[in-house]
C-alpha cells in the first residue's frame, strides 16, 4: 500500500474560509491526501487566505517566504494559495513568489484534484474563475468521518452590497444561494456524523433565497424552520447578516423557533449617518436602532454582536462620537472593531484618509467601551441558568468546556458529560474570557 500524502492547510479570515478549508481537505482526500498538523512533513501546503485588510493580505507573502527551506529540502512539496488573496491577486502571487505551484479562488476549489494532478506533472495551475457549474454539486461526496458537535455550513456566498471599503464583492463575486434541499441534505449528513449545532454561513446570510425545487424560493427564516425539523440537530445559528435584509419572518423566527439561538451578529460599522452614507451602507443609525428594538421585542434576551470600522475616510471626531453613542444605545454582548484599511480597487481608497495615529486612538477608545459592555453582559450571567453544548474536555481533569446559548464559553468542573451533550448549567462565576458554571 502506498503511504497517504500529507496535506497541511492554514486558514486565515472568516468562518467561510474555515468551512472552505474543510471542503478542500475533503476534495483532496480523494487524491490520497490526509491532513497533517505541521507543514514540516507535508507533501502539499495550502494557504487559505483573507484579503479583507492590508495586514491580512501581507501575511500570505511572509508565510510563503517561510516555506523556502522546506521546498528546497523537498522539491516534491507542492505549495498552493487559495481564498480571497488568490482571487484578488493570483497572477501577482505567481510572479512575486516562484515557489507557489497552485492558485485557486474560492469559487473554483472543486477543481483542486485536477489542479493538484497537474502540478504533479511539473506544470503550475491557476484557476480564479467564477464557473457556471455548482461547486457544491461537484463536492457532494463527503467522506462519512465523525465530526465534533459544532459545524459551519455555507448556504450563501458573495455580496451585492458594495460597501465602499470592502473587497468581498470582488473576491467572492455576486450573491448566490444554495438550493434548500442541498442545504438540508448536508445538514442531515452532518447530524449523522455527530453534529448538534450548525452555524449557517454567508457573507450576507440573511439575503439567502435558495431554490425550493418547485420554482420558488426559501428565505433564511424558511430554511431555519426546515432545519429545525431535522432530528438530532439541536441548535441553529447564522452569520453574517446585513441590517437591510432582516426580514419580518426572520425577526419572528427569533421568537418562534426554539432551536434558533439567542445571539445575533449584526454589523453596523459606524454610528454617523454621514459616514454610513459615504460607506454606501444604505441604512441609518436610527433605522439600525429601530431594528434592534424589534429584534429585542421578539427575543428579549438576545445577545448582540457587531463590527465597527474606525477612521473611515473623512471621519471626524464628531462622527466617531456618534459611533460611541450608538454602541452605548445598543449594549453589545461583544463586538469586533478594526481600523479602516485602504483596499485597492474599492471606492473609499481614493478619498481623504484619516491619519494612522487618529485611527489608533479611536480604536482604543472604542474597544475600551466594548470591553466594558462585554464585561457587564458577562457578569450579568452569574446566577442565571443557561444550556451548554459541551465541545471538549477542559484543562483540569473532569472539566468540560462548551458554549452557552448566548455563545459564551462555559466551563464546568466534574461535568460527568461527554462532548456533544447539552446540559442545563447555572453560572457561578464570570472570568475575563469565559464563564464557570455547575450542572443543575
Site residues (vs ligand SF4, CB under 6 A): 159, 161-163, 166, 168-169, 203-204, 242
**Residue 50: other Cβ atoms inside 10 A:** 22
Burial 63-100 (b: 16+ CB within 10 A, else e): bbeebeebbeeeeebbbbbbbbbbbbbbeebbeebeeb
Which string of x and - marks every residue 79-108 that binds ligand F3S (by CB under 6 A)?
----xx------------------------
Give the integer Cα–Cα distance in Å for 97 and 38.
21
| Measured distance CA(357)–CA(368) in Å, rounded | 17
The reply to whether 341 sits near ligand SAH by the rule CB under 6 A is yes
Question: Is residue 318 within a helix (H) or strand (E), and if so which, with residue range?
Answer: helix 317-330
User: Do residues 108 and 87 lie in contact, with contact meaning Cβ atoms separated by under 8 Å?
Assistant: no
Cβ atoms within 10 A of the Cβ of 206, count?
Answer: 23
Applying CB under 6 A, the span of 148-156, 247-255, 283-291, 336-344 interacting with ligand SAH comes to 336-344
CA distance 235 to 244: 25
Q: Which of residues 17-76 bind ligand F3S (CB under 6 A)?
A: 17, 50-52
Whole-number Å distance between alpha carbons of 237 and 200: 6
269 makes contact with ligand SAH (CB under 6 A)? yes
CA distance 308 to 315: 13
User: In angstroms, what is the minimal distance from the CB of 259 to ligand SF4?
Assistant: 26
- Among ligand SF4, ligand SAH, ligand F3S, none, residue 102 binds (CB under 5-8 Å by kind): none
Q: Which residue number, 166 or 400, has a Cβ lying nearer to ligand SF4? A: 166
Closest to ligand F3S by CB, 53 or 359? 53
Judged by CB under 6 A, the residue of 5, 6, 51, 53 near ligand SAH is 53
- Residue 90 or residue 402: which is nearer to ligand F3S going by CB? 90
Contacting residues toward ligand F3S, per CB under 6 A: 13-14, 16-17, 50-52, 83-84, 167-168, 171-172, 203
The residues that touch ligand SAH, with contacts defined as CB under 6 A, are: 52-53, 165-166, 168, 203-204, 240, 242, 267, 269, 307, 309, 338, 340-341, 343
Amino acid at each position: 500500500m502506498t503511504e497517504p500524502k500529507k496535506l497541511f492547510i492554514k486558514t486565515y479570515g472568516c468562518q467561510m474560509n474555515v468551512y472552505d478549508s474543510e471542503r478542500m481537505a475533503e476534495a483532496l482526500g480523494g487524491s490520497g491526501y490526509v491532513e497533517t498538523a505541521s507543514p514540516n512533513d507535508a507533501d502539499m501546503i495550502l494557504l487559505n487566505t483573507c484579503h479583507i485588510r492590508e495586514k491580512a493580505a501581507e501575511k500570505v507573502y511572509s508565510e510563503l517566504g517561510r516555506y523556502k527551506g522546506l521546498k528546497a529540502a523537498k522539491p516534491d512539496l507542492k505549495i498552493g494559495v487559495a481564498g480571497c488573496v488568490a482571487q484578488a491577486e493570483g497572477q501577482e502571487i505567481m510572479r512575486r513568489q516562484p515557489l507557489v505551484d497552485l492558485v485557486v479562488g474560492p469559487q473554483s476549489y472543486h477543481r483542486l484534484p485536477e489542479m493538484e494532478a497537474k502540478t504533479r506533472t511539473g506544470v503550475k495551475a491557476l484557476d480564479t474563475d467564477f464557473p457556471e457549474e455548482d461547486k457544491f454539486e461537484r463536492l457532494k461526496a463527503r467522506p462519512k468521518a465523525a465530526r465534533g458537535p459544532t459545524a459551519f455550513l455555507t448556504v450563501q456566498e458573495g455580496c451585492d452590497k458594495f460597501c465602499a471599503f470592502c473587497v468581498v464583492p470582488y473576491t467572492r463575486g455576486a450573491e448566490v444561494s444554495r438550493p434548500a434541499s442541498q442545504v438540508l441534505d448536508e445538514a442531515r449528513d452532518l447530524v449523522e456524523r455527530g453534529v448538534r449545532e450548525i452555524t449557517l454561513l454567508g457573507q450576507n446570510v440573511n439575503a439567502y433565497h435558495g431554490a425550493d425545487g418547485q420554482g420558488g424560493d426559501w428565505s433564511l427564516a424558511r430554511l431555519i424552520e426546515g432545519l429545525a425539523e431535522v432530528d438530532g440537530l439541536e441548535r441553529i445559528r447564522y452569520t453574517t447578516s446585513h441590517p437591510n435584509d432582516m426580514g419580518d419572518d426572520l425577526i419572528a423566527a427569533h421568537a418562534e423557533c426554539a432551536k434558533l439561538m439567542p445571539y445575533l451578529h449584526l454589523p453596523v460599522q459606524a454610528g454617523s449617518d454621514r459616514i454610513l452614507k459615504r460607506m454606501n451602507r444604505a441604512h441609518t443609525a436610527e433605522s439600525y436602532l429601530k431594528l434592534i428594538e424589534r429584534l429585542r421585542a421578539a427575543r428579549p434576551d438576545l445577545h448582540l454582536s457587531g463590527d465597527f470600522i474606525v477612521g473611515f475616510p473623512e471621519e471626524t471626531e464628531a462622527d466617531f462620537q456618534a459611533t460611541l453613542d450608538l454602541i452605548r444605545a445598543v449594549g453589545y454582548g461583544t463586538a469586533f472593531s478594526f481600523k479602516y484599511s485602504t483596499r485597492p480597487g474599492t471606492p473609499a481608497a481614493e478619498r481623504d484618509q484619516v491619519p494612522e495615529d487618529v485611527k489608533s486612538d479611536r480604536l482604543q477608545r472604542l474597544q475600551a467601551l466594548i470591553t466594558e459592555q462585554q464585561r457587564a453582559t458577562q457578569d450579568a450571567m452569574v446566577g442565571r441558568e443557561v444550556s451548554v453544548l459541551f465541545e471538549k474536555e477542559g484543562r483540569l481533569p473532569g472539566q468540560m468546556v462548551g458554549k452557552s446559548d448566548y455563545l459564551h464559553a462555559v466551563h464546568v468542573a466534574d461535568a460527568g458529560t461527554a462532548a456533544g451533550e447539552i446540559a442545563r448549567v447555572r453560572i457561578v462565576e464570570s472570568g475575563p474570557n469565559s464563564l464557570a458554571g455547575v450542572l443543575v
